[in-house]
Each structure stands twice: as C-alpha cells, then as structure tokens.
Amino acid sequence: MPAQPLPREAVLVVNAHSRKGEALFADAERKLKQAGVTLIAAHPVEDPDRMEDTVRGAVRSGAPMVIVGGGDGSLASTVDALVGTDCVFGVLPLGTANSFARTLGLPLELDGAIDAIANGVRRRVDLGMIDDDYFVNGASLGLSPIIGDTIPAGLKRWLGRAGYLLWAVKSSANFRPFRLTLECGEESEKLWATEVRILNGTHHGGVELSGDAAIDSGELLIQVVTGKSRVKLGLDWYAKFFRLRDRDARTREFRGRDFTLKTRPNQRVSIDGEVLAQTPIRARVAAGAVQVAVPADTV
C-alpha cells in the first residue's frame, strides 16, 4: 500500500521545560508555518505534568495531527492520547537522547524534523506497554532508573548525554546486581542481571542498543546484561556507544509479544527516561498503535 501523505493542519505542543524546548518554541512555530503547515493552535507548556492533558485536548478537538516537541519522556507521556485515533503523531526531537526520533530515522535538527512533518508520510508503528502505560521506545531496570531518578536537572540540561555518562559512573558505586525471572508464555528463564532493556526500537538513552529491534515488528526485544559484574555492564555500554564489533557479547536477547518480569529484590523501572513503575511488571507490545510523521525516504 502506498504511504499516505500527512495532514496540512496541526496543533503544536512543546515542552518548554525540555533541554531545547524553551529556546526553540518560537522558531518551531514560525518555521512550521513557513513550511506550509497550518497551526490550529500552539502551546508552550511550562509544566511537564500538563503535557498529556494539552495533547489529549488537541486530539479531542479533532486536530488531524499533533506535533509534540520535547524529549522521549514528553513523547511517552503524551502518546497515550493518540492510541486508537486517526490523529497523526508529529515529533520535534528537543530532548537529550531523542531515542524515538533516532529509531524513526528523523533528523535531529529542527529544520530537518520540520521538513519531515511538512513533506513526509505516515507510518504506522508499534508501542510498548509496561502494565497499562504505553511507551514509545524503551524501558529499563537496573542502573538506568537510578541514574534517571537522581541525576541533577542542571547536569542533564546542560551536558546532555555526557551528563548521563558522568552520573552513571557515580551511581554505579552503590549499585547491586539482581536476580531476574523472565516469563513468556510457557517459557521461563532465571538469571543474574545488572540491567534489563525492554526495546520497541533500536535506540535507548540515545545509543543504538540493537540493530535488529524494529518499531513495526509486532514484538518487543528484551536485552539482558547478564551476570553480576558492574565492569561488564560498563563495557557493554562502552561497546554499544562506540559500536564495537563485540557489542552484543555481554547480553542475551529474548523476543516476544508478552512478557512478565520479576526480580529479587524488586527494581524500579524507567519508561522512556522517567521512573514510573516497579517490578514485577508485564511488558507487551501494542502492534500498529499509532501513526507517526516520518521522512518519505524512510518508508
């Protein structure tokens, strides 16, 4: 089936508290209009907790497309409002890691992202779910939620991914491995782990963690850094960040539509960068849940 063109009318909602949102809101509004997108409304949202209600209101009003500007957390907190609707999800990557945009093949600079919205096509993609909460790209348990829950806002805002890396080194000092039980249907695995990544796409934390995970496969990819060694975990991130030849040597991968994850002790769960759950959890895929705006040459 040929890719469908995108709507020419939209509501713009930008997390003005995100790393680039406050500075780029006015530019985004102006450049979208110049590109031929008619903005029904434009909202710079100062309080991130109001993003979901603002997007939900735009969808209820009948907007054919809602363009959300922010990081992965902003996208994850608002995408629920578009599930089960014909409204198209437009993405302006204005966060730190921008993993969802990387997975979709979206340009990370403002002009390129706007061009994709103005001249791209629709693509129907999967979402992941942790219990009843949708996520766009990835969830994790282990060291990553500790980093996300404790990193100083200024370090994240001004240093970006480098700030995460510095804080990861500090946080690892008090981190302990955990016992994981992973269930999928009748199959069950028990293993020691230092980190578990639940992937709907290729990127998480701005790093390509899997070249095989696909956002429209109808499956989730569970990637487990096995064993008890914090050094091994650090080497795994290093190898994946620099895309070394042995980057998959320290992980085991599991694919499926529906998993149950239990840990001993219980672990907090980061969902697209925000710590929102705790094990035990159910992780499943919502196949073809939303339509997103992507560049025409990526379909």
Say whether both 204 and 281 belong to one domain.
yes
Give the list of residues 6+ apart from residue 297 with CB closer than 8 angstroms, or none. Answer: none
CATH code for position 188: 2.60.200.40
State whether 148 and 284 are in the same domain.
yes
In angstroms, the CA 202 to CA 283 distance is 17
Residue 57 structural domain: 9-125+290-298
113 and 249: one domain? no
**Same domain? 55 vs 91:** yes
Domain assignment present for 2:
no
pLDDT tens track, the chain, 299 positions: 577 999 999 999 999 987 688 789 999 999 999 999 999 999 999 999 999 999 999 999 999 999 999 988 899 999 999 999 999 999 999 988 899 999 999 999 999 999 999 999 999 999 999 999 999 999 999 987 777 666 676 655 565 556 666 656 666 667 889 999 999 999 999 999 999 999 999 998 888 999 888 999 999 999 999 999 988 988 998 899 889 999 999 999 999 999 999 999 999 999 988 889 999 999 999 999 999 999 999 87
Q: Which pTM value belongs to this model?
A: 0.90
DSSP 65-98: EEEEEE-HHHHHHHGGGGTTSS-EEEEEE-SSS-
In a domain, 119, yes or no: yes
Q: Is residue 1 part of a domain?
A: no
Let me know if residue 22 belongs to a domain: yes
